[in-house]
Amino acid sequence: MNNFSGSLSPDLLRLESLRTLDLSANHLSGTIPDGFFGQCRSIRDISLAKNSISGKIPPNVGSCSTLVSLNLSSNQLSGSLPSEIWSLNALRSLDLSDNSLVGEIPLGISRMFNLRMISLRGNRLTGQLPNDTGNCMLLKSLDVGENQLSGDLPYSMRNLSTCTYLSLSSNSFSGELPAWIGQMNGLETLDLSGNKFSGGFPSSLSNLQLLKVLKLSDNGFSGGMPDSLAACRSLLDVDLSRNTLTGNLPSWVFESGFTQILLSGNKFSGPIAIPPVTDSAIQVLDLSGNAFSGKFPSEVSNLRSLEFLNLSFDSLSGLIPASVGELKSLQVLDVSGNRLSGSIPLEVGLAASLREMRLEKNSLTGEIPIQIGSCSSLAYLDLSQNNLTGPIPETLANLTNLQVADFSRNQLSGTIPKQLADLPHLLSFNISHNQLSGDLPAGSFFNKIPPSSVTDNPGLCGSVVNLSCPGVLPKPIVLNPNSSSGDSSSNPVLSPSNLGHKKIILSISALIAIGAAAVIALGVITITVLNLRVRASTSNSAAGLALSDGYLSHSPATDANSGKLVMFAGGDPEFSAGAHAVLNKDCELGRGGFGAVYKTVLRDGRSVAIKKLTVSSLVKSQDDFEKEVNRLGKVQHPNLVALEGYYWTPSLQLLIYEFVPGGSLYNHLHECSASDTLSWQERFDIILGIAKSLAHLHHLKIIHYNIKSSNVLLDGSGEAKVGDYGLAKLLPMLDRYVLSSKIQSALGYMAPEFACRTVKITEKCDVYGFGVLVLEILTGKRPVEYMEDDVVLLCDMVREALEEGRVEECMDGRLCGKFPPEETIPVVKLGLICTSQVPSNRPDMAEVVNILELIRCPQDGRQEEFC
């Protein structure tokens, strides 16, 4: 596991005391020198696996008489298998898998009386298994899968009574499964899948009392479900898929200790009769592609451990039973392509673990139940080709993990909920061939939705269907500016009295605002295409990671296999729960514009938060990444979430932060009960803490770019801590369209200069977002509220209330009037000044801190100026 390259030296084995030679997982190439094995002296173990070695295996391999283990797997070896290899009498383990060896397996394997394991998987070997294969009496593992072997199994194999693993998968073996297979009573895994076996199953299978895994799929076996399997007391995993089995499904299948039963693609028929078992261990049940009939069994709730249920493309009829909601562990439900009728049961919302639900191609009626919105893990939902009516429920917006939704070819009506635009991972949304009307939601996905996904909905309008929508044009989301009629060169905040006396006038036309919003929309659409590529690339990279406990090494060394993990404070950074906890969905705290955040625990017992960046393909080089992260790691402030370390590979970057236990400010403002609401004192302290953190960042020439309530965390004492600061610098170019579409996920916080290329992006953008956040904290309302036919900006609403003298009506009702007007009104005015349309009219954050401290602690009567 290094980066050695070049070819093998013929003199490597001349070392007299050498016992083990392991050069596996390098970049070695070329052929094995003819004299390589001729130099053997006392060598016992040789591994050249996982390199790029080519050519033939030299015949003199048989001269290594002391060799106990030989591993040449995962190379590019070709040619035939030399018969001299059977001269290695001391050999116990031989692995030649995943090469390009051809020809027949030579006779003589019986001479290897010490052989325990042989793997020839993944080559191009032809012919039959040698007749003397079974004379290796001590053989425990035999794997010749994924070759081109054929013929019957040699009779001698009945002697392999100590063999625990036998895989002949993906070949062309034929004939019936011999009765002598029962004499191999030491088998734990038997894999004969992907061959041409035929006939029934011998009753001798019942002798395999140690058998745990049986894979006989993709053959031509016939007859019924073999009753002999009921006697296999250790059997867990049964795969008989894609044969020609017939008859009914016996009840003992559900009463055994099986955890996985795969019977798809056969000709089973009759009802699915599930007995009233209470201790079934079945986790995976696939009966799809058969001829099962009758009702969807309500007794399915007896299978308490069920995680995967596939009954698709059978002939089931009747209702979907409400009992499916009792399957708390169910992750996949597929009953598509049946004859089911009636409505979708409301109880389906109780299946909280459900990730995939496929009910398409049935005759379901009624409305889509709003309870589906409670399936928080749902990523794939297909209700297409039914007779469903009514609207698409707004509760689908709660499915934050939803990636694919298909409601096509139903009779759905009404408008499409605007809240669906907030779904962060949506990749496909098909509503074609329905009776829906109105405009599509405004959002990154719906701006690029394919026309084929919305076709044949006569009432739909908008640019996607090339039909203008009637009615009142909604107000622009970003630009609804205020400006001063006086000299804009003077800063109105420098004179605190201006907070009370300067009248705010709307001076920029709606036409300019709409034009600016259109520019943003164009940028959003452009960058969304890039983000899709980024997401796909990141998903593929993450999917390929081996999340073992050694995945995150505390070694500072960097290589392609282990990556580089650095903790700024030093110490032992290993995670007590293993590295899998870093990417474990059960440990996920939330998702933001830069990526998902997970909680894990260090070896010393201290909790940390891990941010897995989703902009991997846009991240700078390792040097630039580490330079910027090290800079952020030096930023220390009581009101900032401390960056404690990072992990780097070219395809994955993790940032390690201190764990803040109190949750986000967004949750406290918008998702907590009235009894847990923040008091005025707590809100003021939070505002002051955020202001101090931003002032500190600006002093260090760091722009946050992403100020919003979900990026403010509260610690155990209620102290505000701002996170996600400075991450925009990790991108290769500071593009305002990237920022506006990817990072600034809530448009209500976005400074208007993002819409104009000629205006410089400065710290005043943070000041604008801070001002919006102040108003959000005071009112308890979101920055943008989407009404039925209008969009309400929080800044506009508060400004209008201030001008009409009813600011107190805007305050969060959960405060129940318990706030001092002498403090609240000046803070409201400060928030409005911070959201000034003209950047130069906004104060610096250091000035904001001074003003807030004056409001809290007035001196010499100066607070009167704010009133």
pLDDT tens sequence across 74-130? 999 999 999 999 989 889 999 999 999 999 999 989 888 889 999 999 999 999 999
Q: Mean pLDDT across the chain, nearest whole number?
A: 82
Q: What b/e sequence results for 545-577 when a residue is b if at least 16 CB atoms lie within 10 Å of its CB, and e otherwise? A: beeeeebbbeeeeeeeebbbbbbbeeeebbbee
Domain tally for the chain?
A: 2
Whether 521 and 591 map to the same domain: the answer is no
| Same domain as 707, residue 840 | yes
Are 574 and 605 in a shared domain?
yes
- The CA dihedral of 380, 384, 389, 392, to the nearest 10 degrees, is 30
**pTM of the prediction?**
0.56
Q: Is residue 15 pLDDT above 80, yes or no?
A: yes
Whose structure tokens read 């058998």? 211
Q: How many CB atoms lie within 10 A of CB 861?
A: 7
Q: Domain boundary residue among 610, 627, 659?
A: 659
Beta bridge mates, 244: 222
For the chain, the distance separating the N- and C-terminal CA atoms, rounded to the nearest angstrom, is: 71
Tens digit of pLDDT for each residue in 504-532?
A: 333 334 444 445 455 455 555 555 544 54
Q: Could you read off the pLDDT of 18-29 as tens digits, one per residue?
A: 999 999 999 999
644, 659, 674 — which closes off a domain?
659
Structure tokens at 865: 């100026």
Given a cut of 90, whether residue 277 has pLDDT beyond it is no
Q: Give the CA distances from residue 315 to residues 251, 254, 409, 549, 639, in Å, rounded to whole numbers and listed in that order.
A: 19, 21, 21, 46, 62
Would 683 be classed as within a structural domain? Answer: yes
Query: Rounded to an integer, what distance in angstroms lies between the CA atom of residue 89 and that of residue 66?
Result: 8
pLDDT single digits (tens) 417-464: 988 988 888 989 999 999 999 888 877 788 788 888 999 998 888 777
Residue 101 CA to residue 105 CA, distance in Å, equals 10
Of the candidates 344, 369, 346, the one whose C-alpha atom is nearest the C-alpha of residue 359 is: 344
Task: Give percent above pLDDT 70 in the chain.
Answer: 80
Q: What is the CATH number of the domain that holds 641?
A: 3.30.200.20
- Cα 827 to Cα 42, 617, 852, 863, distances in angstroms: 84, 42, 7, 11
Please tell me the distance from the alpha carbon of residue 26 to that of residue 51, in angstroms, as a whole number: 6
Q: Nearest 5 degrees, angle CA 413-CA 415-CA 418?
A: 145
Which pLDDT score, from 0 to 100, does residue 546 have? 32
Provide the token pair at 404. 């694919």
User: Does 729 lie in the same domain as 857?
Assistant: yes
Average pLDDT over residues 338-363: 93
Same-domain status, 565 and 606: yes
**475 burial class (0-12, 13-18, 19+ CB within 10 angstroms)?**
middle
Q: Are 649 and 670 in a shared domain?
A: no
What pLDDT shows up at residue 562?
Answer: 55
Does the structure show a pLDDT above 80 at 578? no
864 is in which domain, residue-wise?
A: 493-536+663-867
In a domain, 40, yes or no: no
Residue 30 pairs in a beta bridge with: none
| 3-state SS assignment for residue 532 | helix
In a domain, 822, yes or no: yes
CA gyration radius for the chain?
A: 34
Which residue, chain included where needed, has tokens 């049946």?
338
Largest pairwise CA distance in the chain? 105
Question: What per-residue confidence (pLDDT) applies to 564?
Answer: 78
pLDDT, average across residues 492-501: 38
Q: Is the dihedral of CA 338, 344, 345, 349 positive or negative?
A: positive
> Do both 789 and 855 map to the same domain?
yes
Burial of residue 816 (CB within 10 Å: 0-12, 13-18, 19+) is exposed
Q: By mean pLDDT, which of 36-45, 309-318, 334-343 is the weakest?
A: 36-45
Give the Cα separation of 609 and 665 in Å (integer). 17
Does residue 414 contact residue 391 with C-beta atoms inside 8 Å? yes
| CATH code of the domain in which 770 resides | 1.10.510.10
**608 and 519 both lie in a single domain:** no
- Are 568 and 629 in the same domain? yes
Is there a domain that residue 315 lies in? Answer: no
Dihedral over Cα of 239, 245, 246, 252: its sign? negative
- 550 versus 251: the higher-pLDDT residue is 251
**Cα–Cα distance between 489 and 841 in angstroms, integer?**
8
- Supply the pLDDT for residue 523: 56
Token look-up 């599509």 returns 440
Measuring CA to CA, which residue among 704, 753, 695, 696 is closest to residue 724? 704
In a domain, residue 758? The reply is: yes
Average pLDDT over every residue of 200-213: 94
Does 692 reside within a domain?
Answer: yes
For range 747-764, the mean pLDDT: 72
Mean pLDDT of 234-259: 93
Domain membership flag for residue 702: yes
- Give the list of residues 6+ apart from residue 756 with CB closer than 8 angstroms, or none: 516, 519
**Mean pLDDT, residues 776-801:** 82
Q: What SS3 state is found at 733? A: coil
Helix (H, G, I), strand (E, B), or coil: what is residue 385? coil
| Residue at 741 is within a domain | yes
> What pLDDT score does 860 carry?
43
Question: Do 559 and 603 fall into the same domain?
Answer: yes
* Domain match, 568 and 707 both: no
User: Of the given ranges (10-14, 167-171, 529-533, 821-825), which has the lowest mean pLDDT?
Assistant: 529-533
Q: Quote the CA–CA distance of 775 and 236 in Å, as a whole number.
A: 60
pLDDT of residue 151: 94
Q: Which residue has the higher pLDDT, 408 or 619?
A: 408
Residue 31 banded pLDDT, cuts 50, 70, 90: very high
Q: Is the pLDDT of residue 588 over 90?
A: no
3-class SS at 238? Answer: strand
Please report the beta strands in 752-851, taking only residues with DSSP state E, as ranges in sequence order: 784-786, 791-793
> Which of 643, 659, 675 is the endpoint of a domain?
659
Task: Indicate whether 286 pLDDT > 70.
Answer: yes
Residue 619 shares a structural domain with residue 699: no
User: Average pLDDT in the 231-257 region?
Assistant: 93
pLDDT score of 651 more than 80 = no
